[in-house]
Amino acid sequence: MERRRFIKTTTLATLGLGITGGVYSWQIEPFWLEFVNQQMPINNLPQHLVGKTVLQISDIHVGKYFNYQYVVNAFKKAQALQPDFVVYTGDFVSYENEAQFSQLQEVMQYAVKGSIGTVGVLGNHDYGIAWKQQHVANKITGILEEAGIHILINKQKEFNGLNFIGIDEFLGLNFNPHKIMSIHNPNKPNIVLCHNPDVCDLDVWYNYKGWILSGHTHGGQVKLPFIGHPILPVINKKYTSGKIDLHDGRMLYINRALGNLKQIRFNVRPEITVFTLAKKS
């Protein structure tokens, strides 16, 4: 009888933990936003930019898979920080059909913008089905530009002495890093935006020394004890999240994403990153 009671108690406890963990992963952590503060030392940074903030938002994934009112609420919290610069590193939608255009317009009414400048790059989902629909990318770019976000498609844009270089989506139709990196000025304070961190391993950097801000991985969304990340959508599995020194003068930062592809997260909270600019010694 004692053995039966033990088995029953253990089974019920395990079931209870499983249900609790499932509810947590579905209803709590996907909306438990973390603001991550990070110093950003930059080569050639002018004195008037020291202490200014660069806020990174990535992978908002507006669509039908989770309540995007959460994104609006997150934007409002980020606006309260009054950032100097804001960068968006791709995957603005989880595209299935044209409904995502109106959904994105609704959300981007509340877009976070920097007092000095706001820029972004596209992600693979912004290129529609199978990442091959140029008209989808064009429509999304138009919506973002109307919201005050300058989308950099293998281009660069300077604000008050800080230069942003945008490499277009690795898996999309316009990936051409040579076009912009071959003409980058190493004497400027530069920040590169590149949605997919796998681009870091390609021979396209022309001796660039500086920060690269990416997204795409969502930090795997799930990180299990002793196992790690069951799913990580990159070739280089070292590219999970956070700051990664590439040991050649480049520093990669991978944002864990504000949104979700599917409404599930475990041990990988959604993130907005707040960088504080500093001179690199």
pLDDT at residue 227, rounded to an integer? 86
Pairing of strands 271-279, 53-57: antiparallel
pLDDT at residue 6, rounded to an integer? 37
271, two tokens: 């993130």
Phi, psi of 48 (to 5 degrees): -70, -10
Name the residue among 182, 181, 201 with its Cα closest to residue 246: 201
Q: Give 21's contacts (C-beta < 8 A, 6+ positions apart).
A: 266
In contact, 121 and 195? CB cutoff 8 Å: yes
Name the residue among 39, 47, 77, 62 with its Cα closest to residue 108: 62
Average pLDDT for residues 244-264, to the nearest whole number? 95
Name residue 21's amino acid. Answer: G
Average pLDDT for residues 254-281, to the nearest whole number? 94
DSSP 83: -
In this structure, the dihedral spanned by the alpha carbons of residues 112, 115, 121 and 123, taken in order and rounded to 10 degrees, is -10
More confident site: 231 or 249: 249
Q: Give 68's contacts (C-beta < 8 A, 6+ positions apart).
A: 60, 62, 103, 107, 259
pLDDT at residue 14, rounded to an integer? 35
Pairing of strands 34-42, 85-89: unpaired
pLDDT at residue 21, rounded to an integer? 61
Name the residue among 52, 62, 132, 54 with its Cα closest to residue 90: 62
Residue 109 has pLDDT above 50, yes or no: yes
Q: How many residues does the chain have?
A: 281
Average pLDDT for residues 139-163, to the nearest whole number? 98
Average pLDDT for residues 154-177, to the nearest whole number? 98
Residue 13 has pLDDT above 50, yes or no: no
In contact, 157 and 144? CB cutoff 8 Å: no
Name the residue among 211, 178, 212 with its Cα closest to residue 198: 212
Residue 18 has pLDDT above 80, yes or no: no
More confident site: 6 or 148: 148
pLDDT at residue 4, rounded to an integer? 55
Tell me whether residue 129 is exposed, middle or buried, using C-beta atoms within 10 angstroms of its C-beta: 0 to 12, 13 to 18, 19 or more.
exposed
- pLDDT range class, residue 222, cuts 50, 70, 90: very high
Mean pLDDT of the chain: 92
- DSSP assignments along 84-133, one per residue: SEEEEES--B--SSTHHHHHHHHHHTT----SSEEEEE--GGGG-GGG--
248, two tokens: 């050649």
Distance CA 59, CA 242 (A): 15
Distance CA 31, CA 113 (A): 22
Residue 123 has pLDDT above 70, yes or no: yes
For residue 242, give the 3-state DSSP assignment: strand
18, two tokens: 């499983």
For residue 27, give the 3-state DSSP assignment: helix
Distance CA 141, CA 3 (A): 64
pLDDT at residue 261, rounded to an integer? 86
